[in-house]
Amino acid sequence: MPQQILSFLPTNIFADFAGTRATSTIAVVIFSLLVGGAFLAVRKREPQTAAVFAKGIHALQAIVHQIVKFVIKLTPYGILALMTRATATSSIKSILNLGIFIIAAYAALLVVLLLHTVILAVNQIDPLTYYKKAWPALIFAFTSRTSAGTLPLNVQIQTEALGISPVVANFASSFGLTIGQNGCAGVYPAMIATIIAPTVGVNVFSFQFILSLIAIVTISSFGVAGVGGGATFTTLMVLGALNLPVEIMGVIIAIDPIVDMARTLVNVNDSILAGLLAAKQTGQLDNETLKDTTQVVESTL
């Protein structure tokens, strides 16, 4: 375990950028945190220098996002090829097993929604009223498979229907786009890793595996793309960090859009829930608006 923790630290960042180690992704994340901390320190002393660096990072981010968009646009063609190949080379039993996987994934995500409901009840918030008001954003997220695309509606529902202050609503919804996604960055990668691990002789009930899985899933949840397919990249990172084979993702990605709909719904719900609880704890929640069942936002996206 100590050696595994040490392997998370970057030794040659350029080699880690190239993914030469199983833990390269985690090393890059840690390196990014160090750079971010240094940037904040420089910004206090030399604002102009920090501003130049920030502009460069924003430009690089825009380019990378554009590349990701190109890849995502081509994804349907790749999925068609994978589904055709899987159907032609697999038995009916194998195809049925994929159906079982979809059911298991939806069941796991449903458990998370139930936990969200319990959290609402514990905080003395009527779950029925909450889900009635959050429904437009949840159904849009389910059909569009994009947390980023749901962002405007997410913020509107938090401010107009749930009575959350604009500051908290904007922060929670934006923060939830890339960090702490319960569906894409929590349940799904852990589920895939737990399924694959026994095939290579790993005991999924061992303390070391459980601790490693929790730590890696938590770290990899920082910076998840808020677009369709983001969970696939996160899962690949988790599998790589755990030194597990990634080949099975070639089969699972063919049915990923079906699972991604439920994952995105859970992601958006957890960001709304986080904003609601944060507003309640900080006194920035309008309880009258929250309890008013007529205050409902209609989706116009």
pLDDT for 173 equals: 84
List Cβ neighbours of 259 (8 Å cut-off, separation of 6 or more). 102, 105, 106, 188
Question: Is 126's pLDDT higher than 80?
Answer: yes
Question: Is 89's pLDDT higher than 60?
Answer: yes
pLDDT for 299 equals: 58
Greatest Cα pair distance in the chain: 65
HSE-CB at 31 with a 13 A cutoff on CA atoms is 17
pLDDT for 249 equals: 76
Give yes or no for a contact between 102 and 258, defined as CB atoms under 8 angstroms apart: yes
pLDDT for 119 equals: 95
Domains within the chain, CATH numbers bracketed = 93-301 (1.10.3860.10)
Could you tell me the two tokens for 152?
Answer: 């405007």
Task: For residues 208-235, give the mean pLDDT.
Answer: 77
Give yes or no for a contact between 49 and 42, defined as CB atoms under 8 angstroms apart: yes
CA 285 to chain centre: 26
Reported as a single tens digit per residue, the pLDDT across 159-218 is 999 999 988 998 888 778 777 788 777 888 889 999 889 988 889 899 888 998 888 888
Question: Is 72's pLDDT higher than 70?
Answer: no
Higher pLDDT, 208 or 252: 208
CA 227 to chain centre: 9
